Structure 1
Amino acid sequence: MKNWSKLSVYNINTEKRYAAGFPLDEDGNPTAECLDGEWDFKFVKKASDVPEGYEQPGAKAEGFTKIQVPSEWQIKGFDKPIYTNYLYPYALVQFNPLLIPHVKGYRNSAGCYMTTFNVKRTDKRVFIRFDGINSCGDIYVNGKFVGYSEDTFSPQEYDISEYVKEGENKLAVTVYRYCTGSYLEDQDMWRLSGIFRSVYLIYKPQAMIEDFYVRSVLKNDYKDARFLADVQTRIAGDLAGRKARVKVVLSKDGKVVAELSSDAEKTDKKKKYIKNKIKDLSSEITGVELWSHENPALYDVEVTLTLDGETVDVRRCKFGFREIRIVPYSDGRGPFILLNGKPLKIRGVNRHEFHPDYGHAVPKELIEADIKLCKANNITAIRNSHYPNQDVFYELCDKYGVLVMAETNLESHGLAMFLPKGKKCWKDSCVYRARNMVGRLRNHACIISWSLGNEAGFGKNFRIMKEKILEMDDTRFIHYEPDPTGKVGDVLSEMYSHVEKMPVIGENKPMRHCYALWAPVGSKYTPEMYRDLPFIECEYAHCMGNALGNFSDYWDAFRKYDRLAGGFIWDFADQSIRRKTKDGKDKWCYGGDFGDTPNAGRFAFNGIVRADRSPNPALYEVKYQHRMVDFEYSDGVMTVKNNYMFTPLDGFRCSVEYECEGKKLGEEQIAVSGEAGSVSKYNLNMPAFPEKGEVVCNVKLMLGKDELYAPAGHVVSYEQFILREYDFAPVEGKGGATVKSEGGRLVVTAADTVYTIERGEITSVKKNGKERLTSPVKPDFFRATIDNDALPQVPSIIADIFMGTSRYRNAIKTLKARKVNSEVRGDKVYVHIKWKMRTLKSLETTYIFDGEGGLDMSMAVTPRKSMERYGFTFRLGKGVDGVKFYGKGPHENYCDRATAAKLGLYEGKAEDFIHDYLYPQENGDHTGVRYAEIGGENGVKIQSVNAPFEMTVHPYTTMELHNAQHSCELGRDDRLTVNIDGKQRGVGGDTPAMACTKPHYDILPGQTHTLRVKLTF
């Protein structure tokens, strides 16, 4: 049997995962050579087709081509990418648990890699390190088998000193797409393969620092600290008799803060080498600067090993003084997660290390761009979903100040009811993965929690993993979901708890917990089980397509209850692979686009940003709700509440602008101040208001100086107050309109505008003889289906039963005017229509035409079933463009995702106000609209009459938008589609790809819903 097919074999000859980093030479440069670049490569469809002997020196590279390392071969055009959520690829067993963990060799493709490297004459030991191989690899040097390892997302390192020779050496690696370890890697992601992280040749001295572990205990109200260090050395036996000494130096800005030292155990020449572990070196330090996500203060640590006073090895790392701990419920407060003694609310996001052009082989500069993007949008925590990331990610999070939940590469979602549970055959592999993560990463200040994995069921193996982790590091809290016992995780964690459940948890009431495929009824949780456990939503606000509805309701609850410690949004970026169409457009591919089966379609498009990191509109809502400063207004006084944990407001700039329906009235600067947690008040110097018009006050809090993630002037928090509300009094036009009947049509003449009404629809509007419409003004109740309405994870027929996805799309075809009455009343023409349509209890519309060409248009509708939207639709004439409106913007907003949008006067092209979701769907809505102008002089003006309306303007039809399956397929039309709505249903997002719209965001059946606007063409 091959290594990849043996459950008991998950590593051969690998070094343990250590946090010591690379050795440094006398100039402070790493003694490592990066082997990244072009390698020889051959792809084979079956494991049995790996060419025999290709790894041997002198073997010819027949059939080989070139490939870039690091990369994943599917991204480079070899083999099919596969996207699946929890169904295992066909090479593995999904439906017969008796065959687990069988891997089908005839479906297990492989990649054969070759390169050469040079070794100079040296007395040092030579190691080779692979930072990531997916899913496993057999390693050969000069034709000799060196070792094997699984655990895709952890480095694997081998001592190859006995295999190399001076001069040129051959390195060969056989990478298999699947192995038995793949059963523990069933994450919701693209299933790709290859050497996808960097490869290093490392020279280490015969007497080396093998590992070191640094930590601290904060004291005296977090002003002072005890600094502690453990150092492990490995010294060759032939160096016996030489005095070994370890020194640890802690410094800040070049100034030594502490120096620790100790002798190491003497070596024994009878042994090949001796490992010494020096524990609990310590020093008391006064006046430490603490690390936090608000102030990521870092110190330098240098560890030196000397033999008889001669320096033989030096290692370095960054270090932050910080404390993370859990405080139980007491005296009516808590429980809390405390960071440096202050209660922490996690403003987080789940992030796959993935990019549309590189797959999982993400370059450093793009990782850094992601972190800066998060920080700039008030996202200060990242969960590594669902595997450890590259070293550089944690180094950057230390630097920028991002809290990290590091997660073990362990998920068995599709088979969680069978493995790993408490089965002994899986125990060692599970522990191996946890130790790999902790051993490599435990010196990073940014990591506040170790997660045991994700959606892998539950059993004894998770208790064992926790025990092993705590033996290595006990300075972070342990996380795992699902935990039906409440005893493995140090916090209560759940994914996709509905917002209605937040008060239940916040008030420590009985509940059911951990619903999943393997536990459809969940587990009973009594108040006693979680009384002392803070709650984290490890995944929530599922942002698939046009989603993230009622996100503000979650944050209202998080702010209200001590126990609710925040959570991690699902997720950061749409997971897509970018390809080009023949005409050069970006095609954002999803499951099935490559002929891959099984696949989960577009279920990977869950990002608050698109795959290219441009914002999805949900990002604006996240930034606003994650704000750290709140503003309130009353009677000329602005109250400022500083919710930062450690940061005073003195370093920020605050501006206050006054507007009347888009016209600036004045501006003032407020010198805000106040320590973290403080509340301060400021008198506003408001300008004189005009006699009429809605007046608003816009407050912005901005960075006062450049930060690593954003320049001075970057807005971190903002608010808007309405100082005088809009006057919704009807706009009365003069009389003088006339009506006549012509062949079953009504023709209304109003000054220079002639309206034609057929079967209740306004089929023509001519202004000075020129037609303004290319499709009728008529009632409409269908919106292009959003992902949350479509239930894309289930067959469409089931989705239709549960969500009624085609209900109004089909019902609108049955819309008929059953009665049309017209009359002249007071020099105005009234046309009243009663309609009949399946799914509606009643529908009436009224058109009132005045003598100036105005059309007062109203609707009253009572649905039998919940509605997606209600209002009117029409298309303007060819070639018109331009949108100007006074309402909520500038970005799209819906009734349950509108808190970040602010009232203003916005103007641009129609293209500026739509949004291209990677999978096309309803987009571009604006709520709270008071008035709008569409299409300029040849378009239409829309005025609210008695209440704000909602509006979308699309350069395509609703059905074109609905039918498109990729954004590149959605063309543009020079005839604008205008939708005027009384309301659109919210977009939802509590549960993956299921709207779960709250009643106050829905358009409920059995109630009469109204709309009234005035149109002027």
Structure 2
Amino acid sequence: MTTNTNVTPSLDWLVDTSVFAVNRVPAHSDHVYYETLDQAKAKQSMPWRQSLNGKWKFHYAENPSSRPADFYKPEFNCSYWDSISVPAHIQLEGYGTPQYVNTMYPWDGVHDIRPPQVPMEDNPVGSYVRNFNVPEHMEDMPLYISFQGVESAFYVWLNGRFVGYSEDSFTPADFELTDYLQPGENKLAVEVYQRSTGAWLEDQDFWRFSGIFRDVYLYTTPELHVFDLSVQARLDDTYSEGSLKAAMLFQKTIPAGAKIMGSLYDQTGRLIQEADGLFQKQTAVVTFKVDQPKLWSAEDPYLYSLYLQIFNEEDQLVEVIPQTVGFRRFEIIDKVMCLNGKRIVFKGVNRHEFNARTGRVVTEEDMVWDIKTMKQHNINAVRTSHYPNQTRWYELCDEYGLYVIDEMNLETHGSWQKLGQVDPTWNIPGNLSEWQDIVMDRAISMLERDKNHPSILIWSCGNESYAGEVIVNVANYFRDKDPSRLVHYEGVFHAREYEEASDMESRMYAKVADIIEYLENEPKKPFINCEYTHAMNNSLGGMYKYTDLENKYPMYQGGFIWDYIDQALWKKNREGQEYLAYGGDFHDRPTDYIFCTDGIVFADRKLSPKMQEVKYLYQNIKLDVNDKGIVLRNENLFADTSAYDLVWTVRRNGITCWEEKLDQLVTAGEQAEFDIDMPASVTAQPGTYTIDATMRLREPSEWGEAGFEVASGQYVWEKKAAILKATGNLRVVEGDVNIGVHGHDFSVQFSKAAGSLTSLNYDGEELIETPPYPIFWRASTDNDNGYQHSYTAGVWLAASVARRCIDVTVDALAEQVDVSFTYAFSIAEKLHVQTIYSVFPDGSIRVKAHCRGAEGLPDLPTFALSFRTSADYSDLEWFANGPEENYEDRKHGARLSRFQNTVKTNGTAYVRPQESGTRTGVRWLKVTHVKGRGLELRAHDLPLTCNVSPHTALEIEQANHAYELPPVHYTVLTVSGKQMGVGGDDSWGAPVHPEHKLSSGVDHHFVFTINRA
């Protein structure tokens, strides 16, 4: 590379598509290098690399005209400036405003501009200064600086002299500093602009930040240095013979007499073979033939270790390069994507780099947590939405085993889609030749850095940038440069004339019916959902409909959930309480508000209840269970089941009564049946029985402890008990207003005026704070809001707060007392609800709720009875589907079991309060106080759907943040037969699937009993 030391920087570059890299070192591989073989094998920090992370002097200006333009000069005194952390986002260090927008550009409605213009009067500038001395062991050697990530454009000076300029926030920008150095202390100055031509290409669905947000370091190179390394591990057509080629581009011409020795080791550290390199001017090649190599896959991420030792002409070792190698072959066979000859199914997620405190500045601890969480929940693939990630992420994917779609830093969503409508009248890059080089530069930077990672199976040409010749040229570049991988681009869906931009049919949020239509009509390409089952807060309903396609259609090859982690930021409210904030909470305008919280993991890296469903639906090992046996289906492509124990457990009413471990070994792609054998006495008593079959890690792994459960299946059956009649006497007092029913140590009171049960007193304790009434509304979810459910079904909200009791009847029988209330509603004359309370001598109350349907009304969100007891009754014990919340369209991962929690912990801390905490399949639920007394709700014939919360649905409906909820005074119990599902095909118009709705035109009823706990 030649550095031009006489370039004069210009602000015009910020709006010039032809200027995006000045004096930048060409893109190259991300390999590391050492002085000795021992250093390389120890994987220690590079001695030839010096971090510049830490505190830098900093000045913030709202626009270029107010910046200190001469700050880079040696005589400019920056000592009085503030200090800022590097890496960090400027907006999270106390300057400017974080802004969240999705598809629109952040200046929409504020500045009337078109690309490549940027609003210079609204273009924050960060001026950074760092003084450094060249480390002694790096003196008299060429010196470089690497910026791993700067958003979105920046200028660099050293000792007052201009060094270079770069755009592209998410790939490295390296510059040579050698010619600018001075003895002793050197002044490094960096000027970062938030807006540039690059900002038009970075319209991703994320927070808009700026600044130096990835590592910065100095590095030097030895006398013979491999500038770029390309490792190609290939397999023959039988997948049994491997060839390994390490192609090296040196920084300068290789002198005669120099040599290279390559050594290949297996995963145990055993030397496989050695080979000498062949030189030609500035390049060298080392090749190996490997018979029967162990193959890399997500199931078994087997990595070889390659060491390249470079010797100078005096036979002195000058450089050692360690490089992990994975042998694998990814290709399309008969229109199906195959890894090592086997059809692959991506069980994936889209992942933003994100931390709730530091934004896109993520640590290795964050990354390791993410990748272990993915492995533990059967996620096998990740799409780097929508930009290249830190190098360390790809190394972890190599090591732990994740398939990667590596996506270049390109999204121009707001240029072609407005309010969801396709309008490409001024889209970029399209067919605009002036955008070709700046876009291609991003593709080159990604591929050259990441090309040696076996985890990367697919290059992606970016996201949501419509289509056109510019992107087609990028796709062809990927194919020409790297035929070992496939190319992905979803945008051709909107412009089929550019079909060649993608090797696969990729869609976002396609409905299942549309996918089936594609697959059943002579498809030309394999199909993936690059984004699907939008996981916005309480969501992911109906995901099973997509995973059901996996074994029905060979060309359906899975998808990537949107998305992995909520993008919410910690903030303090007026009272100093810290909370997770979303768009608009920083007074950022324009904004897309709550739309940044659509992860299956919360922003504070706590698991969402949605992960329960993901883990089950993504499991590669299926367990079909009945009372006679277990069918184990191993749907892995390569791995057998030897790493796991098969354990089956019998429980009666949630209590374990038998458990065994079975010997098993099922090869990939096969299945086996195992008999269940246990004494008859185990299931002799009446009760609800479950058989749970689980696959558990036999030994600790990199991502899970021994005993960790990776797969499960359950069978449930009932063994009915004889119903015993309650004995004792009841005393009925029918007053003018109230109806009292009294028995031993209990009393029940009904009010004709209130039209409901008003008192339930067991052993002197009152359990009814507010009476039970029919309710048809649940707190709205974000998905509900997305398809305007409150507009279409808002009559049910009115019916939930306004009713008239039109009839009260009392029937005092010998064995029970029945009190019946009938309610009418203004929303429909035919709509009636009858609630019958039957009080028995033992103090139990059977409750029958019946809703007579009325044609012409929208579907019901729910039909339930809801009442409040004191907040002192805060301890919960369930025999229900769990342990996490679950809904009619999101309950595959839930298992019938017995579990405990509290009213406070039962709900889910979604960033915006909404419906949460519901359980389906409820057999019984106990609500007790600290002394263990309270009440029990028990299903009578069919299982119930129940919710217990500190707040009513209407209180939750009014809150935009958890701190806006009122103080807790009550425990709110809501009992129903069913509640509508939560949906999740998308969050902007897709309703709940019909089979998970409640029709208003039919009758609904449920029965349960209330007992003392």
Q: TM over 0.5, yes or no?
A: yes
One of 116, 122, 127 as aligned partner of 1:107: 122
Cα pair 2:847 2:1007 within 8 Å, conserved: yes
Higher mean alpha-carbon deviation, 957-966 vs 378-387, is at 957-966
Aligned to 2:331: 325
Cα pair 1:23 1:30 within 8 Å, conserved: no
Give how far 1:926 is off. 0.8
Cα pair 1:116 1:169 within 8 Å, conserved: yes
The whole-number CA distance in structure 1 between the counterparts of 2:488 and 2:542 is 26
SS of 1:892's equivalent? coil
Q: 1:313 to 1:885 in 2, by over 3 A?
A: closer
Unpaired segments ≥5 residues, structure 1: 267-275, 329-334, 510-526
Aligned: 1:420 with 2:429: yes
SS of 1:427's equivalent? helix
SS of 2:359's equivalent? coil
Give how far 1:245 is off. 4.2
The whole-number CA distance in structure 2 between the counterparts of 1:419 and 1:33 is 39
Unpaired segments ≥5 residues, structure 2: 1-10, 41-45, 417-423
Q: Deviations over 1:35-83 (max 9, x none)?
A: 1111101111112212021101131016511111111111111110001
One of 120, 138, 161 as aligned partner of 2:155: 138
The whole-number CA distance in structure 2 between the counterparts of 1:20 and 1:384 is 17
Give how far 1:742 is off. 3.3
The whole-number CA distance in structure 2 between the counterparts of 1:997 and 1:289 is 46
Aligned: 1:31 with 2:48: yes
Aligned to 1:851: 841
Cα pair 2:880 2:921 within 8 Å, conserved: yes
The whole-number CA distance in structure 2 between the counterparts of 1:728 and 1:968 is 47
Look up the equivalent residue of 2:265 and give its one-letter code: S
Aligned to 2:368: 368
One of 1004, 1007, 1010 as aligned partner of 2:1002: 1007
The whole-number CA distance in structure 2 between the counterparts of 1:20 and 1:234 is 15
SS of 1:782's equivalent? coil
Q: 1:638 to 1:799 in 2, by over 3 A?
A: closer
Cα pair 1:405 1:449 within 8 Å, conserved: yes
Q: 1:831 to 1:93 in 2, by over 3 A?
A: closer
1:966-1005 equivalence runs, <5 A: 966-970=961-965, 973-994=968-989, 996-1005=991-1000
Aligned to 1:250: 264
The whole-number CA distance in structure 1 between the counterparts of 2:997 and 2:361 is 42
Cα pair 1:894 1:925 within 8 Å, conserved: yes
The whole-number CA distance in structure 2 between the counterparts of 1:763 and 1:731 is 28
The whole-number CA distance in structure 2 between the counterparts of 1:853 and 1:190 is 57
Look up the equivalent residue of 1:249 and give its one-letter code: S
Aligned to 2:8: none
Give how far 1:230 is off. 1.9
Look up the equivalent residue of 1:212 and give its one-letter code: L
Give how far 1:175 is off. 0.4
Cα pair 1:42 1:63 within 8 Å, conserved: no
The whole-number CA distance in structure 2 between the counterparts of 1:877 and 1:832 is 25
Give how far 1:495 is off. 0.8
Look up the equivalent residue of 2:886 and give its one-letter code: N
SS of 2:999's equivalent? coil
One of 926, 942, 949 as aligned partner of 2:944: 949
Aligned to 1:702: 696
TM-score (norm 1): 0.91
SS of 1:665's equivalent? strand
Q: 1:878 to 1:545 in 2, by over 3 A?
A: closer
SS of 1:649's equivalent? coil
The whole-number CA distance in structure 2 between the counterparts of 1:456 and 1:730 is 66
Cα pair 1:987 1:995 within 8 Å, conserved: no
Aligned: 1:869 with 2:862: yes
Q: Deviations over 1:311-339 (max 9, x none)?
A: 444333211111111112xxxxxx32211
Give how far 1:763 is off. 2.4
Look up the equivalent residue of 2:700 and give its one-letter code: D
SS of 2:551's equivalent? helix
Cα pair 1:668 1:685 within 8 Å, conserved: no
One of 519, 538, 553 as aligned partner of 1:546: 538
Q: 1:551 to 1:755 in 2, by over 3 A?
A: same
Cα pair 1:544 1:787 within 8 Å, conserved: yes
Aligned to 1:116: 131
Cα pair 1:249 1:258 within 8 Å, conserved: yes
Give how far 1:880 is off. 2.0
Q: 1:886 to 1:775 in 2, by over 3 A?
A: same
Give how far 1:183 is off. 0.6
Cα pair 2:153 2:167 within 8 Å, conserved: yes
Give how far 1:286 is off. 0.7
Aligned to 2:352: 352
Q: 1:878 to 1:72 in 2, by over 3 A?
A: closer
Give how far 1:387 is off. 0.3
Q: 1:769 to 1:703 in 2, by over 3 A?
A: closer
The whole-number CA distance in structure 1 between the counterparts of 2:601 and 2:408 is 25
Higher mean alpha-carbon deviation, 497-506 vs 541-550, is at 497-506
Look up the equivalent residue of 1:811 and give its one-letter code: A
SS of 2:476's equivalent? helix
Q: Deviations over 1:780-823 (max 9, x none)?
A: 111111111112xx9xxx6644x53x442233233111222333
Aligned to 2:897: 904
Aligned: 1:679 with 2:684: no
Aligned to 1:3: 13
Give how far 1:850 is off. 2.7
Cα pair 1:434 1:452 within 8 Å, conserved: yes
1:212-611 equivalence runs, <5 A: 212-219=229-236, 221-235=238-252, 242-252=256-266, 253-266=268-281, 276-278=282-284, 281-308=286-313, 309-328=315-334, 335-416=335-416, 417=424, 418-484=427-493, 485=496, 486-507=499-520, 509=521, 527=522, 530-531=523-524, 533-581=525-573, 585-611=577-603
Give how far 1:464 is off. 0.2
SS of 2:558's equivalent? strand
Give how far 1:292 is off. 0.9
The whole-number CA distance in structure 2 between the counterparts of 1:974 and 1:739 is 32
Look up the equivalent residue of 1:577 and give its one-letter code: L
The whole-number CA distance in structure 1 between the counterparts of 2:167 and 2:796 is 51
Give how far 1:96 is off. 5.6
Q: 1:633 to 1:22 in 2, by over 3 A?
A: closer
The whole-number CA distance in structure 2 between the counterparts of 1:859 and 1:587 is 40
The whole-number CA distance in structure 2 between the counterparts of 1:189 and 1:630 is 36
Q: Percent identity at matched positions?
A: 30
Cα pair 2:871 2:950 within 8 Å, conserved: no
The whole-number CA distance in structure 1 between the counterparts of 2:32 and 2:244 is 23
Aligned: 1:68 with 2:85: yes
Give how far 1:448 is off. 0.8
SS of 2:886's equivalent? coil
Look up the equivalent residue of 1:929 and give its one-letter code: V
Look up the equivalent residue of 1:441 and give its one-letter code: D
TM-score (norm 2): 0.92
The whole-number CA distance in structure 1 between the counterparts of 2:719 and 2:576 is 47
Aligned: 1:625 with 2:617: yes
Cα pair 2:650 2:689 within 8 Å, conserved: yes
SS of 1:468's equivalent? helix
Look up the equivalent residue of 1:204 and give its one-letter code: T
Cα pair 1:759 1:816 within 8 Å, conserved: no
RMSD over aligned CA atoms reads 2.3
Give how far 1:124 is off. 2.3
Higher mean alpha-carbon deviation, 309-318 vs 898-907, is at 309-318
Aligned to 1:821: 809
Cα pair 1:624 1:717 within 8 Å, conserved: yes
The whole-number CA distance in structure 2 between the counterparts of 1:912 and 1:558 is 36
Look up the equivalent residue of 1:298 and give its one-letter code: L
Look up the equivalent residue of 1:772 and give its one-letter code: L
The whole-number CA distance in structure 2 between the counterparts of 1:667 and 1:855 is 37
Cα pair 1:674 1:680 within 8 Å, conserved: yes
Aligned to 2:887: 894
One of 7, 17, 40 as aligned partner of 2:27: 17
SS of 1:559's equivalent? coil
SS of 1:554's equivalent? helix
Aligned to 2:799: 811
The whole-number CA distance in structure 1 between the counterparts of 2:989 and 2:737 is 45
Higher mean alpha-carbon deviation, 215-224 vs 241-250, is at 241-250
